[in-house]
A = this chain, B = another copy of it.
Amino acid sequence: MAERKRYLFVCVNRRPDGTPKGSCAARGAEQLHAELKAMLKQRGLAETEVRACTSSCLDTCWVGPCIAVEPDGYFLGRVKSADLPEILDGFERGTRVERLVLGPSDYVEPKELKRQT
């Protein structure tokens, strides 16, 4: 094993059921991380190219499940299992899945969720 070219940090924070902003784990992030790890191994990328770690809250709960893609320095949000092959293809090609990349407004908690919390 060696330093990987990329590290993915999949938020697996779980908040109590009914929390208005929800949480990545409640949206299926744990399963997503397991699938990602298996796919990276299957594609032969796990040992040198990409390592998939879990992380605590990335503070973008409302657009979860979220994945910090590093050192590229962007977050993917609203990620579904069906998106994973395209995400991994992108790593191999050097491209990003732009429709999932969070923009500045995604980092701000929507007011209507804040009021209820």
CB proximity to B under 8 Å, residues A51-65: 51, 53-59
Most chain B C-beta atoms within 10 Å of own C-beta, residue among A3, A70, A72, A109:
A3
Q: Bin chain A's interface residue count.
A: 20 to 34
In the bound complex, CA of A54 to CA of B68 (Å): 13
Q: Is A18 an interface residue (CB 8 A)?
A: no
- Contact partners of A75 in chain B: CB under 8 A: 3
Which residues of chain B are near A71, meaning CB under 8 Å? 70-73
A75 to B70, CA, bound (A): 12
A73 surroundings in chain B (CB, below 8 A): 70-71
Question: How far is A54 from B54 in the complex, measured between Cα atoms in Å?
Answer: 8
A3 to chain B, nearest CB (A): 4
If A70-B70, A70-B73 touch, whether A104 touches B2 (CB-CB below 8 Å) is yes
A91 partner residues in chain B, CB cutoff 8 A: none
Nearest chain B residue, comparing its CB with the CB of A102: B3
